[in-house]
């Protein structure tokens, strides 16, 4: 759990708004779903095992509720109910807090902000390409530096695993080891189950099956019908991404391991060289909406705003001081507040003196806090002082009307 | 590129393996108390961390790679790639009881276990369908049963001599440990070439050392 102070909070909002408005340019419409969902709804989307990592609540009627651990399931619920009659495909975006009950330890938060997009109703490579290109664009809009997207496919792993000829128990163990990224244990398990070295090598090679030669290399180590089809698709996808102009930011990486009960096709992660955790994750999940009675194929991704925040340089101008500090003598309150209102309408941030400090002290305090300009309204006139000491006196009426009193009013339009 | 090395029992062998892989010379690590060592390869540096902190450095990407015992990986369950068994630092995680309790340990209930590995301990006993009261300790775990803090211990043993000297009897093995080379999941992608080079050189150095010590 963590707090965001004014500077960070402003940056987080800029990141979120930047990504959402970029998504809107791609025709994605923002939706908002409740933080609290029925437990059954969430489990229907994410599988019973996910139930363990949910924050659960019980309402007065004894109904079991839970905080959403991600936004895809709530969006799926929304699509299969309220938006059922809408023509496909649907392009939806969201931004919100998500919650994980079981995540503890360093670098793992129980609550964090996500911004994401879902493209629902198409199973084409064109749809996959759009969502990956949008992910690249979202990272660019986020302001995080040195970003790239690694693109894999669960079908490759499924094909390789299927060809090992393992028992159900053996397959489960191998999958668990893959999730843990324990390649030492994986080698031992493959030997123990008597998997021929050549077949096992395809799994052991996963961490290195990335980069420009990944697909050729993958063809060399894996030869099944499923992997052939997957690699063909990835090749075609890479070509479309090239046409999108994002080829340089995407690399094929067959070692991307994400939940293969949930994902059914491409899977991808966004990384930056300056952070040890992925910035975004996503993929194709064609079975999720089936659980809600609408067999729509879908693909999407979510950006971790907290991680983008950690990966983007902090900027001084945000979240800081007001643009103008206004003080007044008692009989000029109305005049001063009208001035403040007028300046706010011009999109300046304005604070009004409420401590009753002498003008000199108040101005010094404002400049020290980084506010570049202070105004004292007194006797129907405004004394405008800049941080550099430059000062002038202008009729308030001229300031408000935007007509320079003596040719040099500070906010002349 | 930063390689984190766990201080303590794995340090000497880790350094020797890094030396065999051509990253360090013996003088650099024997003659200094610095916690960040420059390497022969100017693009690589070596960081010395407490074993319990090592995976934090790697998981956060403060180190791209790390050398750490499997015991820590099992205990902490961090999201890192475990790529190479470096072979050295071999030991076993075992459950032991005072000689007089050892025979009936399977019937003890409730059972109190002193350990540096609370998560491993809970997982193990829950896996057996038994509830366990974990007494978390940071060292000299073998003392706990003698002073009545716990019934038994779950701890790492190499030769078993400490057990004998403290009148403890091993009743079961829970895991086997040795030093592992781990990699941050993002470094594996954003610094793919450099990471692979280190991994392969370390893999070769480790197996060459294993051969020569036979």
* Contact: A148, B61; criterion CB under 8 Å: no
Which residues are within 8 A (CB) of A60 and not within 5 positions of it... i.e. 6 or more apart? none
For A39-84, write each residue's pLDDT tens digit: 999 988 877 677 778 899 999 999 999 999 999 999 999 999 999 8
A173 contacts A188 by C-beta, under 8 angstroms: no
Looking at residue A406, what is its pLDDT?
43
Closest to A207 (Cβ–Cβ): which among B73, B81, B190?
B81
Looking at residue B101, what is its pLDDT?
87
| Surface-to-core class of residue B60, CB atoms within 10 Å of its CB (0-12 exposed, 13-18 middle, 19+ buried) | middle
Which residue on chain A is closest to B195 by alpha carbon?
Answer: A208
Mutate which of B68, B186, B207 to disrupt the A interface (most A C-beta within 10 Å)? B186
Which residue on chain A is closest to B186 by alpha carbon?
Answer: A276
Within A281-330, where are the H helices? 305-311
Residues of chain A in contact with residue B59, where contact means CB-CB under 8 angstroms, are: 106-107, 276
B8: distance to nearest CA of chain A, Å?
A: 22
User: What is residue B33's DSSP assignment?
Assistant: -
**% residues pLDDT > 70 (chain A):** 93
Strands (E) in B70-214, as ranges, are 81-85, 91-98, 111-115, 132-136, 152-157, 168-177, 179-183
Name every residue in B having a CB less than 8 A away from some CB of A. 56, 58-62, 70, 73, 76-85, 180, 183-192, 196
**Residues shown for chain B:** 214
Considering only A106-120, B7-21, B47-61, which range has the smallest mean pLDDT? A106-120
Which residues are within 8 A (CB) of A169 and not within 5 positions of it... i.e. 6 or more apart? none
Looking at residue B39, what is its pLDDT?
84
Mutate which of B127, B185, B187 to disrupt the A interface (most A C-beta within 10 Å)? B185
Which residues lie across from A369 on neighbouring strands?
A: none
| Surface-to-core class of residue B149, CB atoms within 10 Å of its CB (0-12 exposed, 13-18 middle, 19+ buried) | middle
Considering only A194-208, A313-327, B190-204, which range has the smallest mean pLDDT? A313-327
Cis peptide before A15 (omega within 30 of 0): no
Closest to B186 (Cβ–Cβ): which among A185, A210, A278?
A278
R_g over Cα of chain A:
28
A107: distance to nearest CA of chain B, Å?
A: 7
* pTM (global) more than 0.80: yes
**For A286-306, what is the mean pLDDT?**
93
Closest to A183 (Cβ–Cβ): which among B61, B70, B81?
B81
A5 contacts A289 by C-beta, under 8 angstroms: no
How is residue B157 written in tokens? Answer: 């043993």
Residue B59, CA distances (Å) to B56, B78, B187 in order:
5, 7, 10
**For A256-262, what is the mean pLDDT?**
81
B173: distance to nearest CA of chain A, Å?
A: 17
CA A29 to chain centre: 15
pLDDT tier at A410, thresholds 50, 70, 90: low
pLDDT exceeds 50 at position A403? no
Strands (E) in A44-185, as ranges, are 56-58, 64-67, 90-99, 111-120, 147-153
Residues of chain B in contact with residue A269, where contact means CB-CB under 8 angstroms, are: 189
Residue B185, CA distances (Å) to A25, A315, B58, B81, B124 in order:
32, 28, 9, 6, 28
For A208-225, write each residue's pLDDT tens digit: 999 999 999 999 988 889
**% residues pLDDT > 70 (chain B):** 100
| Tokens 């609290």 -> residue | A36
Residues of chain A in contact with residue B84, where contact means CB-CB under 8 angstroms, are: 184
* Contact: A275, B186; criterion CB under 8 Å: yes
Which residue on chain A is closest to B1 by alpha carbon?
Answer: A273
* Contact: B82, A255; criterion CB under 8 Å: no
B49 contacts B57 by C-beta, under 8 angstroms: yes
Strands (E) in A203-279, as ranges, are 250-252, 266-272
**Selection from A47, A188, A28, A38 nearest residue A115 by Cα:** A28
User: Mean pLDDT in chain B?
Assistant: 92
* Contact: B82, A183; criterion CB under 8 Å: yes
Which residues are within 8 A (CB) of A264 and not within 5 positions of it... i.e. 6 or more apart? A154, A284, A285, A286, A287
* Contact: A181, B180; criterion CB under 8 Å: no
pLDDT tier at A413, thresholds 50, 70, 90: very low
User: What is residue B77's DSSP assignment?
Assistant: -
Looking at residue A407, what is its pLDDT?
44
Q: What is the dihedral of CA A159, A161, A164, A169, to 10 degrees?
A: -140
**For A222-239, what is the mean pLDDT?**
94
How is residue B93 written in tokens? Answer: 């995680």
| Surface-to-core class of residue B210, CB atoms within 10 Å of its CB (0-12 exposed, 13-18 middle, 19+ buried) | middle
A-B contacts (CB, under 8 Å): 69
A134 contacts A127 by C-beta, under 8 angstroms: no
Residue A123, CA distances (Å) to A253, A273, A287 in order:
21, 32, 11
For B71-119, write each residue's pLDDT tens digit: 999 999 999 999 999 999 999 999 999 998 888 888 888 899 999 999 9
């Amino acid at each position: 759990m963590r707090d965001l102070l004014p500077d960070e909070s402003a940056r987080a909002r800029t990141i979120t708004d930047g990504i959402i408005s970029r998504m809107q340019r791609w025709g994605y419409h923002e939706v908002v779903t409740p933080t609290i969902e029925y437990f059954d709804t969430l489990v229907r989307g994410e599988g019973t095992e996910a139930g363990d990592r949910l924050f659960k609540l019980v309402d007065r009627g004894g109904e079991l509720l839970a905080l959403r651990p991600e936004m895809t399931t709530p969006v799926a619920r929304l699509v299969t109910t309220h938006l059922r009659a809408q023509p496909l495909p649907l392009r939806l975006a969201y931004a919100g807090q998500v919650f994980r009950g079981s995540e503890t330890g360093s670098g793992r938060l129980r609550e964090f902000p996500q911004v994401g997009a879902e493209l629902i109703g198409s199973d084409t490579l064109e749809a996959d390409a759009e969502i990956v290109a949008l992910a690249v664009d979202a990272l660019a809009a986020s302001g995080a530096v040195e970003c790239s997207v690694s693109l894999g496919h669960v079908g490759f792993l499924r094909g390789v695993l299927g060809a090992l000829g393992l028992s159900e128990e053996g397959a489960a163990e191998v999958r668990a080891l893959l999730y843990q990224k324990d390649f030492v244990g994986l080698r031992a398990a493959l030997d123990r189950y008597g998997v021929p070295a050549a077949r096992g090598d395809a799994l052991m090679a996963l961490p290195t099956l990335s980069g420009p030669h990944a697909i050729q290399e993958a063809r060399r180590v894996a030869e099944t019908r499923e992997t052939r089809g997957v690699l063909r698709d990835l090749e075609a996808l890479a070509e479309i991404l090239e046409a999108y102009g994002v080829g340089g930011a995407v690399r094929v990486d067959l070692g991307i391991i994400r939940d293969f009960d949930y994902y059914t096709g491409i899977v991808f992660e966004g990384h930056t060289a300056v952070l040890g955790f992925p910035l975004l994750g996503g993929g194709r999940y064609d079975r999720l909406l089936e659980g809600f009675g609408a067999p729509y194929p879908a693909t999407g991704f979510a950006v971790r705003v907290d991680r983008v925040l950690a990966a983007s340089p902090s900027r001084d101008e945000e979240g800081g001081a007001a643009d103008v500090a206004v003080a007044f003598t008692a009989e000029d309150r109305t005049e001063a507040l009208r001035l403040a209102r007028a300046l706010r309408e011009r999109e300046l941030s304005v604070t009004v003196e409420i401590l009753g400090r002498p003008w000199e002290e108040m101005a010094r305090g404002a400049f020290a806090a980084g506010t570049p300009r202070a105004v004292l309204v007194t006797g129907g006139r405004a004394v405008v002082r800049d941080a550099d000491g430059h000062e002038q006196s202008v009729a308030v009426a001229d300031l408000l009307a935007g007509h320079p009193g003596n040719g040099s009013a500070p906010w002349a339009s | 590129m930063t390689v984190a090395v766990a201080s303590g029992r794995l340090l000497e062998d880790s350094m020797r393996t890094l030396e065999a892989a051509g990253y360090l010379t013996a003088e650099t690590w024997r003659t200094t108390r610095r916690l960040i060592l420059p390497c022969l390869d100017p693009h690589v540096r070596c960081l010395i961390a407490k074993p319990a902190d090592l995976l934090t450095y790697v998981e956060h990407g403060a180190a791209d790679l790390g050398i750490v015992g499997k015991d820590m990986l099992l205990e902490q369950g961090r999201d890192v790639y475990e790529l190479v068994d470096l072979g050295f630092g071999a030991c076993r995680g075992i459950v032991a009881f005072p000689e007089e309790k050892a025979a009936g340990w399977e019937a003890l209930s409730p059972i109190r276990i002193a350990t540096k590995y609370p998560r491993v301990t809970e997982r193990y006993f829950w896996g057996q369908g038994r509830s366990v009261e974990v007494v978390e300790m940071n060292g000299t775990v073998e003392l706990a049963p003698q002073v009545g803090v716990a019934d038994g211990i779950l701890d790492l043993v190499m030769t078993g001599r400490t057990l004998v000297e403290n009148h403890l009897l091993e009743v079961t093995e829970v895991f086997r440990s040795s030093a592992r080379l781990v990699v941050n999941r993002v470094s594996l992608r954003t610094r793919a070439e450099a990471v692979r080079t280190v991994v392969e050189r370390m893999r070769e150095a480790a197996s060459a050392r294993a051969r020569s010590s036979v």
